[in-house]
Amino acid sequence: MQFTDEQIEVYTKFFHGLSNPTRYRIILSLIDGPKNVGELAEAVGCSQSLISMQLKCLKWCNYVKSIKDGKNIYYSISDERIIGLIKLGQSITEGNTDKICTCEIFKNEK
């Protein structure tokens, strides 16, 4: 299978969007159903301003969508395949946590 450099860049940026712990926690929280910024802040344990900033990224890149209901805006996962991807990633890491957490290359990339 051949891919262009541009395709590789887009694919790696897609996964980079999920590599931020706050964004990942937001996605995990939204698996349970739509939430507004306040609900997400409480569920994730971050300030509403940080949640809003991360939601801007997640919405721009189409990981989440928003629906206005009166004065509230509710966020939800935009594509059910994202849930499948999260669950697949969690399944793959089971039994491999030590190696992933101790990878010297990952440590140096931060």
- Say yes or no to pLDDT of 8 above 80: yes
pLDDT(31) > 90: yes
Per-residue pLDDT of 51-109, as tens digits, reads: 999 999 999 999 999 999 999 999 999 999 999 999 999 999 998 999 999 998 887 87
Domain annotation covers residue 39: yes
Q: Is residue 84 part of a domain?
A: no
Residue 9 host element (H or E): helix 5-17
Domain that holds residue 16: 5-78
Question: Which region holds residue 55: left if phi is over 0, alpha if psi is between -120 and 50, else beta?
Answer: alpha
Domain contains 46: yes
Strand, coil or helix: 48: helix
Paired tokens of 15: 């996964």
Whole-model pTM: value is 0.90
Whether residue 23 is contained in a domain is answered as yes
Helix (H) or strand (E) holding 92: helix 80-93
Residue 35 lies in a domain: yes
Q: What is the pLDDT of residue 107?
A: 79
Contacts of 10 (CB under 8 A, 6+ apart): none
Q: Is the pLDDT of residue 110 over 80?
A: no
On whether residue 85 sits in a domain, the answer given is no
Identify whether 91 is part of a domain: no
**Would the pLDDT of 36 be above 90?**
yes
End-to-end CA gap in the chain: 30
Gap between the Cα atoms of 84 and 10, Å rounded: 19
Q: Summarize the confidence of residues 34-52 as an average pLDDT.
A: 98
Residue 37 covered by a domain: yes
CATH number at residue 50: 1.10.10.10
Q: How many domains does the chain have?
A: 1
pLDDT at res. 1: 85
Asked whether the beta carbons of 54 and 23 are under 8 A apart, the reply is yes
